[in-house]
Structure 1
Amino acid sequence: MRASLGLRMGQSLTMTPALQQAIRLLQLSSLDLQQEIQQVLESNVMLEATESDPLDVEIPAADNEDEAAEAAAATEVRGDAETLPEDLPVDAEWSDVCDMDPAPTSGTPDDDLQAFLDANIKGESSLYDHLLEQLQLADLDDRDGDIGLHLIDAVDSDGYLRDWEELLALLTDRYGVSAAHVEAVLRTVQDFDPAGVAARDLRECLLLQLWLMPARTPGIQAALTLVDHHLPLVARRDPVAVARQTGLPVAETDQALTLIRTLQPHPGRPFAAHESDYIAPDVFVAREKGRWRVFLNPEHTPKLRVNSEYQRFIKRADSSRDQLMLKGHLQEARYFINALESRNETLLRVSQCIVEAQRAFLEYGDEAMRPLVLRDVSEQLGIHESTVSRATAHKYLHTPRGLFELKYFFSSHVTTTEGGTASATAIQAMIKRLIAAEPAEKPLSDSALAEHLLGEGIQVARRTVAKYREGLGIAPSHERRSVWS
């Protein structure tokens, strides 16, 4: 084998740091992008936002420079200069020699702001605190109070008492009482609000709620029987089938199932801490002069620029450490600004393309949704499919019909009887409309839904209808049958 030298020409794609940064910014959500911008602003001295600082003091206009300087000084210090002593003690406080106006108090917030504060900032008592308050009011001695406190500690966020056998052994051993004594304290805790709390399983949780109801409640006896002995049958929601297997009258079974559906299987859920999630749209679409216009959310697209003051400090011929640092920050700032502008431009182009393709949806609703895939947008804009996927990931479009994720407008297609295509989203909307108008006593099966769709020119198989129905979270026909009397 002989070694030799040769020349070869070829092409390859290199992922430069600037390209990697542009790709990463494109796939960030609006919240992640704001955090990224904030981190870059804090770490790069060359980068600054162009928004005006709300703390800047507006200096009144003056006829000449001297008057302007005096006005500026007057706005910086509110005290009277004539009252200040020439020499101040070292430990003197500013408030001792200068009259400081108190900070203005904010007025009463409007209704919308107050509702936001009440929903998100105002703390509510937890399930543990709610049960503890009732335990302190219960007529229990010190030992039983301690046992009750241990029981409350073992109640989870759903309101259930988990690991009962282990807890029972621990309490009987620590306090030297019988298992029956601990269960007696447990029954006291189970009488607390909310109904069904401290239950050891779903069956006991539902029974505790039924036992608190008046004896004259319609269907109460049949409900107790179903929950106590036939709980798996309750999930079928079919009164005829349940009555056939239990031997109960159909009318009583109907009333019992209706009553059971009013119970709370997770009594602790209303006390669970929650935080409202708000989604701010990345893109807005509005109709102006007969055309749909798309524009970016200005809150998510801040204007950045290179700091001109620091830029003047850079000297080309200087290679000192500080100069190299400033030059590196300047290059990174330019890369980041270009990547941010590229992201906004790509997002705007993709959104405009989607809006133009789904104009019928904006005007007529879900059933007018057109089939659309990533390839359609990429071919029209001349970009790669992965770029379209990144641009639409975790981005939201605000339309007159509501707030939608950009991914919502992409869907597969189904061939119609006339040779055209229909969007899967449009078919789901048709299925939802048909089910909403179905007779309550005779809900439409998947086969019947397929026949109705065929009558509207949409040819889909029964299993496809079942898949779309399940995607909508709609139960099958035998579970949608209403309870009748």
Structure 2
Amino acid sequence: MELNHNVSQRLEQKLGLSLKAQQALKLLQLNSMEITAELEEIVQANPLLEMKREDYELIEGKSDLESSPEDEENTEDGDLYSLPENNSIYMKPESTDRDGWDFDRIEAQQPTFREILRDFAFYILDDDLFSLFEILLDYMDDLGMLTEDLEKIARENHCSVDGLCCVISTMRDGGFDGIFASSREEIEALLGPGLFPSSGYSDGAFVRYVEPDLYIEFIDEKFIVTVRDYSLVLSVDESYEEIMEHGEKTAKKYLEEKLEEAKFYISALERRKATLITIGNEIVIRNAPFLLKTSEKIRPLKMNSVADKIGVVVSTVSRAVKDKFVQTPVGTFPIRYFFGNLQEKEQALEVIAEIVRGNPDISDAELVIVLNNRDISIARRTVNKYRNQLGLGKSK
């Protein structure tokens, strides 16, 4: 076997991020629960930094936003919504301990309904009845109902119907009303419509507690946009100043590097706060009717539009909304929910159904134009796909 060596040259263009840029993007991407741990590590490694939560002051929104057509008017399905003149967007001081809530935890896995039922049966039934209970459990669905009738269960497992009925009666007397019912009619007679023996019990999934990164409130006819703020402050005491001025070269160089690093982290956190505030403002401007409960529909934001307003690339906005939540007057949502394709699809399906039922002969190309006029931008092939999903036929 012959080995040869070749030398070749290749010219490539690659865009690389500096370590500082990577760290800034990492801070932007972290949510409220993650960033605390990250900042604690940063503070431990830098003697010139301290952790402090600085809050935004209450300030008036920009005048150009107030005069923006989208701020003043939101048109949805032909309904005109006018935002009152005094409905400005504000920021206000925010305590990180919001009403004493503690979201910074992930609870252990919860027991399932079956596990709870089995543990209860183990304590109240004797061995013979518990054996019959386990037979019934094998034939129980997730709602707490039997999938087969008692006669068939008894026949397949060589046991008596009376014994099975005794287990069912004992479990129901113990508080599990309707358990092992044979039909929905029996369930409704025992519990009422819409209820089942398993209603209200956990499915065994992990319970995740979230801590919102943004808060949107409507107080005194004004929207309040609040960011949960974590900040670092520069703390250079006299001893450090003395070292930086008259200390030995190694110590002086070390502190100068830490000082530059500290200024970078402080700046990165300020940019993070400004980005989240801008996103919160855009959510309010675009979805005021939804936040005021005058509409059930969300008008999705475009990441490229928000990126242009902030002056960043789209991927930066994507990182900013990743795994973060916003608390609003109508509930707590992932911030990405206001950017998602799901709302666009639902809105497009509804509008397409409305138009096509009124004009069955309209073409896909014409539908695209109508949808664009309603601020729904989708391709013609997507329009055709949605028409087929709605069962409204394919345009020729």
TM bracket (short chain): 0.5 to 0.7
Choose from 335, 344, 350 the match for 2:279.
350
Q: CA separation in 1, counterparts of 2:141 and 2:284?
A: 44
Q: CA separation in 2, counterparts of 1:343 and 1:367?
A: 30
Tell me how many residue pairs correspond in the alignment. Answer: 298
Q: How does 1:282-361 map to 2 (within 5 A)?
A: 282-284=214-216, 286=218, 295-297=225-227, 300-309=228-237, 311-312=240-241, 314-315=243-244, 317-319=247-249, 329-358=258-287
Q: CA separation in 1, counterparts of 2:52 and 2:143?
A: 52
Q: CA separation in 2, counterparts of 1:358 and 1:212?
A: 42
Pair 1:377-2:309 in alignment: no
Specify the alignment match of 2:75 in structure 1: none
Q: How does 1:76-225 map to 2 (within 5 A)?
A: 128=115, 131-138=118-125, 140=126, 144=128, 147=131, 158=142, 180=158, 188-191=166-169, 192-193=171-172, 194=176, 207=182
AA at the equivalent of 1:207: S
Q: CA separation in 2, counterparts of 1:453 and 1:391?
A: 42
For normalisation by structure 2, the TM-score amounts to 0.52
Cα 1:125/1:363, change in 2 over 3 Å: closer
- The structure, 1 or 2, with the larger RCO (C-alpha pairs under 8 Å, 6+ apart) is 2
Q: CA deviation at 1:278?
A: 5.0
Cα deviation code 1:154-180 (max 9, x no counterpart): 89995889xxxxxxxxxxxxxxxx953
Tell me if the contact between 1:26 and 1:343 (Cα under 8 Å) persists in the aligned partners: yes
Task: Indicate the percent of aligned positions where both proteins have the same amino acid.
Answer: 20
Q: CA deviation at 1:375?
A: 2.0
**3-state SS of 2:269 partner:** helix
Tell me if the contact between 1:195 and 1:267 (Cα under 8 Å) persists in the aligned partners: no
For normalisation by structure 1, the TM-score amounts to 0.44
Specify the alignment match of 1:33 in structure 2: 35
Q: CA separation in 2, counterparts of 1:285 and 1:277?
A: 21
Specify the alignment match of 1:464 in structure 2: 386
Q: CA deviation at 1:406?
A: 3.4
Cα 1:190/1:366, change in 2 over 3 Å: same
AA at the equivalent of 1:144: D
Tell me if the contact between 2:112 and 2:201 (Cα under 8 Å) persists in the aligned partners: no
Cα 1:400/1:133, change in 2 over 3 Å: closer
Q: CA separation in 2, counterparts of 1:189 and 1:149?
A: 6
Q: CA deviation at 1:373?
A: 1.8
Choose from 19, 22, 25 the match for 1:23.
25
Structure 2 unaligned regions, length at least 5 = 1-11, 55-98, 146-155, 361-368, 372-381, 392-396
Cα 1:360/1:308, change in 2 over 3 Å: same
Tell me if the contact between 2:46 and 2:262 (Cα under 8 Å) persists in the aligned partners: yes
Q: CA separation in 1, counterparts of 2:293 and 2:33?
A: 32
AA at the equivalent of 2:26: R
AA at the equivalent of 2:198: P
Q: CA separation in 2, counterparts of 1:268 and 1:368?
A: 29
Q: CA deviation at 1:35?
A: 3.1
AA at the equivalent of 2:270: E
